[in-house]
Amino acid sequence: MSNPIRFQESNGSWRALDEEVWRGWQAMNLLHDERIAARLTKGAKWACIATLLVTAALPLYTPPYQVALRFIVAAGAVVVMLQALHAHRYAYAALFAATGMLYNPVIPAFSLAGNWQVLIIYVTLILFAVSLTWMKVAGRTLAALPDRRAR
């Protein structure tokens, strides 16, 4: 930037905003945004896990609530799919896209109550639990990489 931004100090004089200070603020804001996104994604995953546990534990009582349960799981799958796309993990993204389509509340692919349907619910539950551990591993890997945008 060749055009320096000026701000007023407490004593009333003006000075140019240093480029390094500006980059530091940008890096701090980027880190803050990434932490918020990670918390929201983790919350969506835990909501899906809780929903799937209740659905698997009480399959006979879920028919009146199938649309809401499907919506929660499909929305969580979309959130995890977007996180996987952002991390360039396309296999995970495809897996969660398929999960979102499977639990689609508009056109249901299967009923949530039944013997073999509970098996699908358990597999989906394991998938979301694995995605929780994957996020921790990916976070450590991404933290070790240098920031290419700062250059």
Residue 71 is assigned to a structural domain of this protein: yes
Per-residue pLDDT reduced to its tens digit, 80-115:
999 899 889 899 999 999 999 999 989 888 877 767
Residue 63 is assigned to a structural domain of this protein: yes
Query: Is 60 exceeded by the pLDDT of residue 43?
Result: yes
Side-chain-side CA neighbours of residue 52 (13 Å)? 25
Residue 115 is assigned to a structural domain of this protein: yes
Mean pLDDT for the stretch of residues 49-63: 87
Per-residue pLDDT reduced to its tens digit, 103-148:
998 988 887 776 788 888 899 999 999 998 876 655 555 555 445 4
Query: Is 80 exceeded by the pLDDT of residue 3?
Result: no
Q: Which helix (H) or strand (E) holds 7?
A: strand 6-8
Mean pLDDT for the stretch of residues 47-71: 88
**What distance in Å separates the CA atoms of residue 151 and residue 131, rounded to the nearest whole number?**
32
Split into its structural domains, the chain has a count of 1
Chain centroid to CA 69: 18
> Where residue 33 falls among pLDDT bands split at 50, 70, 90?
confident
Segments forming the whole domain that contains residue 67 = 36-144
Residue located via tokens 């399959």: 59
Residue 108 is assigned to a structural domain of this protein: yes
Residue 22 is assigned to a structural domain of this protein: no
Question: Does pTM top 0.95 for this prediction?
Answer: no
Residue 97 is assigned to a structural domain of this protein: yes
Percentage of the chain beyond pLDDT 90 is: 34
Residue 11 is assigned to a structural domain of this protein: no
Residue 10 is assigned to a structural domain of this protein: no
Mean pLDDT for the stretch of residues 65-92: 91
